[in-house]
Amino acid sequence: MKITRLELDHLSGLQEGYSGKLLGAAQVKKFGKHSLGMTLGATCCKLVLVEDPEATAKMMARAKKRQRPIRETKSIADDQTNEPQVRVRRLTV
């Protein structure tokens, strides 16, 4: 992008010098959800999560199988009453 880390700080809204701590050789700071989001926004980038089928197959081969069956849950579509479920909480003064 050909911008300085100081300019990245300004564009992202992070404190001055923070990008240097994140991106510098020493990596004094690590990305967290706040700094990662702000930095991605300033660089006009997105992260995409993609499953690795080979790695998933290896992990599933090592993983213990579930002992209990997965419990069935009642979905909203299964509810035939068509009545909204409302919780009322009364406050006393």
Distances in Å between the Cα of 75 and the Cα atoms of 70, 72, 79, 80, 87 are 15, 9, 7, 10, 18
User: What pLDDT does residue 2 have?
Assistant: 92
Integer Cα distance of 22 and 32 in angstroms: 10
- Dihedrals phi, psi of 2, to nearest 5 degrees: 60, 45
| Per-residue pLDDT band at 80 (split at 50, 70, 90) | low
| Per-residue pLDDT band at 67 (split at 50, 70, 90) | confident
pTM of the entire predicted model = 0.58
Q: In this prediction, what percent of the chain has a pLDDT beyond 70?
A: 80
